[in-house]
Structure 1
Amino acid sequence: MRQDKGYTLATGESGAYRLQILNAIHQPYTEFLLQRAGLSQGMHVADIGCGTGNVSFLMASKVGLSGSVYGVDMSEAQLDIARSQAKSLNGGNITFVSGSAYDTALPKESFDLVYCRFLLMHLNHPSDALLEMRSLLKPGGLLVCEEADFSTAFCEPSFAAHDRCYEMLIALSKERGHNFCMGTMLYQIFLEVGFGTPEMSFVQPVVIHGENKRIVDLSLMEARNALIEAGLTTTSEFDQTSAQLKELALDKTTMFGIARVTQIWARR
């Protein structure tokens, strides 16, 4: 089975708050994408790299009790949070299971729709993961993916700390064999794994005030140890950059353009 160098950011309780903010920013666009792609009542769906289950719960509400959702993740810490939430929500149509994006252990050709968000950018072999997802689809089933391109993030007015943050994160992804600019490549990869007619759109959320602006400094903080160990920054530079990002998050005159997201969907 394929092996990766590991997820760059935090998992479990230490990463849950960042994921909550991330979902608050992206869920409206994800919901519109799923509606546009054709998610509907009664569908059987798989959410690969489901994390704490934010999108899994959204899809479960759309497919109803006549449908089902399977959330798959390698992190037991993430799955523990997702299962706890499922209990509190009485999510009878949703199941969370441990598995790799390369080998989900889900039954082949059994799903009407397979979905992933911000997963492929963390993998060393994204094409292999897409092939696994493709194999889970019924003939005519839908594969729906969302991936970011960190090179498109911006701050207005511009600040060196913001640019340096994304420069470090992109460099770390390259050092690990990942690709935090995956969104730009997604259309070509879909073609390479056998989807002849994918549909695609771009979205780029903007945050100006509130806790959602913390997504930048929280993401950087979770990568702190990995960045320093890789020699991509020093403790002094990191602490200075992180402090400046927190100040920017509180500045209501500053606008953050969150990394542009490629949304793509295609039928098997």
Structure 2
Amino acid sequence: MRPFTGTKHQEADMPTSASRYVLGRSEREYMRLMVQSRLMRPWTERYMRAAGLRPGDRVLDLGSGVGDVSLLAASIVGPEGSVLGIERDADAIETARQRVEAERLSETVRFEVADVNSLTGTEQFDAVVGRFFLVYQPDPVATVQRAAALLRPGGVLVLHEMDAGAVNDMSWPPCPVYNDSVSLLFPVFAATGAHTYMGRMLAHTFLEAGLERPAVEIDTPVATGPDSPVLDWMARTVQSLEPMLAAEGLSLPAGVDFDDLLPVWKRTITEQRAQFVGPSQYGAWARVS
């Protein structure tokens, strides 16, 4: 297989067909999602609270996966509020339901196998939230319009999305074993129609959908040592893409395999006294009139 050596993905934000969840559906991926959630939780929570989520709110979680964002929202809205998570993957929904039962939150949080673009019913929500959801939507503007239509007047849409950023600036001093591994993610995402630069597209997407100008914040995960959870998260993400990388004819740097990826990165960041950066995280929110 060939390594990826490109640096630009000009077509990544203009998919011509419906995208699919490139990271797959497996126990390994569900575990990666939970590792990801522990890292992302402080940022997602800050975006939700800044947007005005409060006790008693009725919340819809788009693409709820194994339930992490729904559980986070439940911790904000409390027992007097409610959270509905919708997800197309029935196995992920089952895992999410088990977690909710274990947390004794079944009276507050429920899940349905559904998609926002086909959701039926007239229930209106105080907040619609989602993390890494628009990135996989073939028409983000239409999806935002559909989500906004499910809000009561004065309700708020809160989205947490990532952005590929500059793949050549992900480490300093430059560490090719990290840069070249992480850069593999973006052509695979783009090949499936995903919007690899969704973060920087958020304000434009909200406005095109007819919403007011959103508040937007940006955060960046940074690893400064071998024990950083950023390394674990990024390694698991590359590992989840192993089948897709093979299908695209892409490979890890010479001498590195998927099982050894994390130990190699840990050794490199220590020996080179380096700093590794992950994809930028964007939060955006706006209210509907």
Residue 139 of structure 1 is aligned with which of 153, 175, 181? 153
Contact 1:12–1:81 (CA under 8 A) maintained in structure 2:
no
Match of 2:172 among 156, 169, 174: 156
Greater RCO, 1 or 2 (C-alpha within 8 Å, sep 6+): 2
The number of equivalent residue pairs is 263
Residues 97 and 111, structure 2, Cα contact 8 Å, conserved in 1:
yes
Query: Contact 2:177–2:265 at 8 Å: present in 1 too?
Result: no
Counterpart amino acid of residue 64 in structure 2: C
Change (3 A) 1:241 1:100: same
Residue 152 (structure 1) shift: 4.3
Shift of 1:161: 2.6
Counterpart check, 1:266 vs 2:280? no
Q: TM-score, normalised by structure 2?
A: 0.84
Indicate whether 1:62 and 2:76 are aligned.
Answer: yes
TM-score (norm 1): 0.90
Name the SS for the 1:161 alignment partner: helix
1:177 maps to 2:193:
yes
1:151 is paired with a residue whose SS is coil
> What residue in structure 2 maps to residue 112 of structure 1?
126
CA deviations on 1:101-131 (whole Å, 9 max, x unpaired) are 32233535x0000001111112222222212
Match runs of 1:215-254 below 5 Å: 215-231=233-249, 233-234=250-251, 237=253, 240=256, 242=258, 243-250=260-267, 251-252=269-270, 253-254=273-274
Pairwise CA RMSD: 2.1
**Secondary structure of the residue that 2:116 maps to in structure 1?**
coil
**Cα pair distance change 1:37/1:266, threshold 3 Å:** same
Q: Name the CA distance, whole Å, in 1 between partners of 2:255 and 2:53.
A: 44
CA contact (8 A) 2:20 2:194 kept: no
2:119 partner SS: coil
Q: 1:240: Cα distance to partner?
A: 2.5
Query: Hey, what does 1:41 align to over in structure 2?
Result: 55
Higher helix share: 1
Q: Which runs of 5+ in 2 are unaligned?
A: 1-16
The Cα of 1:246 is off from its aligned counterpart by 3.7
- Deviation of 1:259 (Å): 1.1
1:39-82 CA-to-partner distances (Å, cap 9, x unmatched) read 10100000101111111111112111211000111111111110
- State which of 100, 103, 108 in structure 1 corresponds to 2:115: 100
> Is there any run of 5+ residues in structure 1 with no aligned partner, and where?
none
Judged with a 3 Å threshold, the aligned counterparts in structure 2 of structure 1 residues 164 and 40 are, in CA distance, closer, same or farther, namely same
198, 201, 205: which one pairs with 2:214? 198
* Cα distance change on mapping 1:192 and 1:222 into 2, 3 Å: same
Counterpart amino acid of residue 265 in structure 2: L
State, as a whole percentage, how many aligned pairs show the same letter.
Answer: 26
Q: Deviations over 1:145-167 (max 9, x none)?
A: 01111224612332113222333
Q: Which letter does structure 2 place at the counterpart of 1:188?
A: H
Deviation at 1:16, TM superposition (A): 2.0
Q: Distance in 2 between matches of 1:53 and 1:238?
A: 37
- Alignment of 1:24 with 2:41, yes or no, is no
Tell me which of 227, 252, 265 is aligned to 1:210: 227
How many Å apart are 1:241 and its aligned residue? Answer: 6.1
How far apart, in 2, do the equivalents of 1:257 and 1:104 lie?
A: 37
State the one-letter code of the partner of 2:156: L
Equivalent residue for 2:25?
A: 11
Query: SS where residue 240 of structure 1 aligns?
Result: coil
Distance 1:246 1:126, change over 3 A: farther
